[in-house]
Amino acid sequence: MEQRELRNIFGQFASGVTVITCSNSDGEPHGATVTAFTAVSLEPRLCQVTLTRKSKACRYLSNAPFAVNILAADQVDTALHFAGRPQEPQPTWTDGPTAPVLCGSAATLSCVPWAEYDGGDHLIFIGEIVDAQTTGKDPLLFYRSTFHDLGTPSASAAWNGSMDDPHSGWFDATTSFTPFHLHTVS
């Protein structure tokens, strides 16, 4: 399978857009646009980012604190800026708990290094989240090599308002069920 074909297949999965930020070897803020971000664990609080080995950020992230800036829908220019297409005005930085962070993001996770793994032509960085902030803004999405926003919420979403929502539904962890085939009628 050709790389371009595989990239197009991967592009069928819509993802959020993040900018991973850290300090470079001179202590200056550095960022890289990344769509390969995943929540890993709630306890301990872990997340994963995956960057191509060719990325300058890979040199700065090894055993270093970083931040995951989950971009807001109005931050396409920021995504492009950190993907190698400089934009004016440049994104605005501020100091974060572990690393420099970007202003205006939908959410920011400040991390300390947890683990690093070989991922073929990529490196996988696991960070322990020590601080998390959210603004309530809608996120920026990436699908089929194009930026998107959430659009209008669907009234027919599977869990939208349903009491069967796995996070707040009718049944808790102590509920038990008797299978119908084992139930006897008296």
Burial degree of 66 (CB within 10 A; 0-12, 13-18, 19+)? buried
Nearest in space to 94 (alpha carbons), one of 133, 141, 39, 51: 133
Task: Indicate whether 20 pLDDT > 80.
Answer: yes
Q: Where are the domains of the chain?
A: 15-151
pTM tops 0.95, yes or no? no
Q: Which residue has the higher pLDDT, 132 or 57?
A: 132
pLDDT in tens, 61-87: 999 999 999 999 999 999 999 999 999
Task: Indicate whether 115 pLDDT > 80.
Answer: yes
Task: Indicate whether 179 pLDDT > 70.
Answer: no
The second-level CATH assignment, the architecture, of 15-151 is: Roll (2.30)
